[in-house]
Structure 1
Amino acid sequence: MTLRRVLILGGYGNFGKRIAENLSGTAGIVLLIAGRNADRAEALCRQLAARGSPATLEPAVLDINRASFVDDLRAFAPDLVIHTGGPFQGQDYRVPQACIAIGSHYIDLADDRRFVCDIDSLDDQARARDVLVVAGASSVPGLSSAVIDHFTDQFSALERIDFAIAPGNQAERGEATVHGILSYTGHPFPVFDDGEWRNQYGWMAPRKQDFGPTIGRRWLANINIPDLELFPERYRPVKTVHFQAGLELPVLHLGMVMMAWLAKVGLVRDWSAYTRPIVRASEWFIRRGTDTGGMQINLSGRNHSGQTRHINWLLCAENGEGPYIPTISTIILARKLIAGSLTTRGATPCLGLYSLAEFDQEIRSLAIHHRTEVTDG
């Protein structure tokens, strides 16, 4: 199949517009900016066209909740659908199933544990239609697994994965992302700790961690992501997989910790019901803090000489470019499908589909950089 028509669901949203901006520089494709708001889709098309985009740009009105969604999608005849329309918590598989039905490839930026981890339930259907269906082509598990894959051959046994994300306060925040986090704030989820599955609570167990001289020390707390379930299997015999994230401003971060406690003791059932007012309240603080964020991955185990080895991989995003990071996995896969160099088929979480070198190639024009420290003994 020659891949020419790329449709971005939520194409004018927080992440969708960044993907559209990037892919609009690809000559020979038709880029459809899709969503429920025709005016916003048309406005982004005009904006990208004014920049001299070599891609053909078209607005598309689509609502994934309409009963006629499959037929509506088929009418646009996409070869690839990129789904950015979160929150993915609670979503079913109507979008990837619709893509399979019409013979289109599918990529999403999902961060919901069940949505990503269970996507392989569509594997037989996707293979039968010779399409690729990828969930979680984002910071996690897309980038996180690419980084870990890069370093696994330095270990005879990888024993512990401890990683974290610390966005800058001034970075754009999408309502869907906030909704997803709030949905499990104060609620339990299983993590693989010292060889056993134990429950942790969302946005609890606060601690500070150093993200280097540019970012400094940031508060972190427990976050539920697909990696917590995928990595114990992928990186056997790893004994512990630990992930946290945080807010730059202590008043906001510790406020979330208090909200988690209120949910844990049963005083609040579900904070996601209050997503909109919480996002609005957070905007009161938008001028405080910085536009600099980072990601850190710490790997521990044994090297090939039997010594203890620790690898610290630290990424820093400046100039407000942190929100590009969740889009880069999707952009890389889309480019590979367009070029015909990605021939994998079936339905899978975003694992092993691109390399850290490909990530580096994609960020070369952005204020995003990373470094690695290796310590033995």
Structure 2
Amino acid sequence: MKKVIVLGGYGNFGKRIVENLARLENIAIYVAGRSEEKAKSCIDGLSKTAKASLHPLVMDIYAADFSNQLQKISPFLVIHTSGPFQGQNYRVPRVCIDVGAHYIDLADDRRFVCDITQLDDIAKENNVLAVSGASSVPGLASTVVESYLSLFSELDAIDLAIAPGNKAERGLATVAAILSYTGHPISVFKSGSWQDVYGWMDSRINDFGGIVGKRHLANVDVPDLEIFPTRYNVKNRVSFQAGLELPILHNTMVAMAKLSKIGAVKSWAPLAKSIVATSNIFLPFGSDSGAMEVLLTGTDIAGARKKIKWTLYAPDGNGPYIPTLSAIILAKKLIGGELTSTGATPCVGLFTLADFELYFNELDIFFAESIE
């Protein structure tokens, strides 16, 4: 029986991964974290429908005995959802590789994801696969880009945007990650060269159409900003923005960014718990619908200008499932023996859009495309 450990298995993303993988037979899933009570509660909620064997596991990735715990269990796969990844080193993936376990994480930190390749040689030596960034970015975003690449002879710009509904569940680690660079410089490829912009600034309104409509957006730091310009030979610009549905919350973040930029506040991240608690006061307002947009502009194979817009819509509060899908798909491919690659890599070039469609349909998530 293959053993799968989900670090942060009862958290915002981890519990969704456990919920999905629990449908598989002949695997043992360890719901891991520092709270045995929360792990047991997560398992209790799935016990009636789970086909997998579910086990609570008290585990702290920063503890001295972390490596010994992993070695004792000897997992086939470890899925790391315990963010924020900003400031984490490669202790967790390195230990996983050393004990012969495949490794997947949902990291959104640029350096963590982009530099995972430094573990490539050791991962190959140990015959395991280590994938970082198996989430909406760069996992799903790169899949969308690559599904349309054949329609372009040259890409001028890739513009990415995510707008969650206000009623969507807020993950503390995700909020802390965003706050860590709010008002701080972010290096982006813009106007054909690398330039600095500032986190949660350059606020604008984007019309996502469909069930979402117009939403505020601002600068967010993601691995795609570093990976995409070179990987797709983009000539002019790669951008990524996200926003909060309620203008009062979005514009408060913009004001906080301005305070950090002028040095009045070094970092908002230590206040993440208080900020999440305050934002939860506004949960009765807004909607439970979110969207993700990938906009490609460039030249087609006939030399004419081309623009493709791909928009994903998530109704009914299902948006938080989207960041988990890349990890779920990878995990199932590894468990089923469909994926035999080894090494350490950011999560790009590993999927087709067809891999995601089953999950989109199950969650009533749908996409629209326009080609001009």
TM-score (ref. length: structure 2): 0.99
Match of 1:203 in 2: 200
Aligned length: 372
Q: 1:18 deviation in Å?
A: 0.3
**Aligned counterpart in structure 1 of residue 230 of structure 2, from 228, 233, 239:** 233
Aligned with 1:127: secondary structure? helix
Report 1:57-68 matches (<5 A): 57-68=54-65
Residues 1:337 and 2:334 are matched in the alignment? yes
Aligned with 1:363: secondary structure? helix
Residues 1:33 and 2:31 are matched in the alignment? yes
- 8 Å contact kept, 2:157–2:234: no
Is the alpha carbon distance of 1:237 and 1:295 closer, same or farther for their aligned partners in structure 2, counting shifts above 3 Å? closer
Whole-angstrom distance in 1 between the partners of 2:315 and 2:213: 13
Match of 1:80 in 2: 77
Report 1:144-155 matches (<5 A): 144-155=141-152
Q: 1:75 deviation in Å?
A: 1.5
Whole-angstrom distance in 2 between the partners of 1:213 and 1:332: 27
Match of 1:293 in 2: 290
Q: 1:237 deviation in Å?
A: 4.0
- 8 Å contact kept, 1:96–1:106: yes
Whole-angstrom distance in 2 between the partners of 1:262 and 1:57: 46
User: Partner amino acid for 1:35?
Assistant: G
Match of 2:280 in 1: 283
Match of 2:353 in 1: 356
Q: 1:362 deviation in Å?
A: 2.3
Match of 1:161 in 2: 158
TM-score (ref. length: structure 1): 0.97
Aligned with 1:340: secondary structure? coil
Q: Output the aligned Cα RMSD.
A: 0.9
Aligned with 1:352: secondary structure? coil
Q: 1:123 deviation in Å?
A: 0.5
User: Partner amino acid for 1:337?
Assistant: L
Whole-angstrom distance in 2 between the partners of 1:66 and 1:232: 38
Identity of aligned residues (%): 53
Q: Alpha-carbon deviations, 1:157-211, whole Å to 9, x = none?
A: 1111011000000000111100000000000011001210000000000000001
Aligned with 2:244: secondary structure? coil
Aligned with 2:47: secondary structure? helix
Whole-angstrom distance in 2 between the partners of 1:237 and 1:262: 33
Match of 1:4 in 2: 2
Aligned with 2:312: secondary structure? strand
Report 1:1-377 matches (<5 A): 4-50=2-48, 52-375=49-372
Aligned with 1:152: secondary structure? helix
Q: 1:83 deviation in Å?
A: 0.3
User: Partner amino acid for 1:179?
Assistant: A
Structure 1: 5+ residue runs without aligned partners? none
User: Partner amino acid for 1:83?
Assistant: H
- 8 Å contact kept, 2:188–2:195: yes
Greater mean deviation of Cα atoms: 176-185 or 233-242? 233-242
- 8 Å contact kept, 1:332–1:362: no
Aligned with 2:144: secondary structure? helix
Is the alpha carbon distance of 1:117 and 1:55 closer, same or farther for their aligned partners in structure 2, counting shifts above 3 Å? same
Whole-angstrom distance in 2 between the partners of 1:53 and 1:235: 41
Q: 1:364 deviation in Å?
A: 1.8
Misfit runs of 4+, over 4 Å:
none
User: Partner amino acid for 2:45?
Assistant: Q
User: Partner amino acid for 1:14?
Assistant: N
User: Partner amino acid for 1:312?
Assistant: K
Structure 2: 5+ residue runs without aligned partners? none
- 8 Å contact kept, 1:161–1:238: no
- 8 Å contact kept, 2:188–2:238: yes
Q: 1:276 deviation in Å?
A: 1.2
Whole-angstrom distance in 2 between the partners of 1:353 and 1:298: 21
User: Partner amino acid for 1:17?
Assistant: K
Whole-angstrom distance in 1 between the partners of 2:193 and 2:7: 39
Whole-angstrom distance in 1 between the partners of 2:313 and 2:278: 27
Q: Alpha-carbon deviations, 1:217-245, whole Å to 9, x = none?
A: 00000000000000011101432101100
